Amino acid sequence: MATKSPNWQKLKERLKSSWQKIIAPKGKSILFVCLANICRSPLAEALLREKIKQAHFSQSIKVDSASIENWRNGDKADSRVIQLLKEHQIPYQGLKSRLLKPMDAKRFDLIICMDTTIYDATRERLGESYFSKIVPFSNFLEDQADVDDPMLTKDFQTTYQQIDQGTDKIIHYLQNNTMNQSASDSKIQ
């Protein structure tokens, strides 16, 4: 499992000072970003969509995913991701890789990056004026570690468990936060 980077505390402090945007259950949009958009981010997209539906605010929150690299653009989610989603009876239709675009910074209220490298690349690509919208997925994990890339670890089950735990925290956050509270100011439980 990935460990915290040495600069983790600095990163968390930068997030606290920069993130002023609010997420609330109505009319909001969330984008997950990973390297190729065939494993982690589409898995997070599918899980969060299902949990939003179960929480009864599916009509008001848009969820999507994207990649920072263009090599798999247009490809479906990895077959092992599809298999995991089938096993857990999570709808997976329409999961297709696409590249992160500059207009995504305007279209999405929250951009969640699956690891620190993706977080840094996304911030660089979208620019400083959008830093407040960009957060690492690890903010929603108890151990605050990066989400393992199953293409490297070959452990899709652990990645599923990390994303399942994190999306539970995102739902909890969405259900319990008000329009006057930012994610960096609230304790994610």
Catalytically active residues, by annotation: 34, 40, 149
Spell out the alpha helix ranges (H) of the chain.
8-18, 40-54, 79-87, 104-107, 116-126, 150-153, 156-176
Distance of alpha carbon 173 from alpha carbon 175, whole angstroms? 5
Give which of 129, 152, 144, 123 is closest to 188, Cα–Cα: 144
Separation CA 70–CA 78 (nearest Å): 15
CA 85/CA 89 separation, integer angstroms: 6
Q: Report residue 20 CA to chain centroid gap.
A: 18
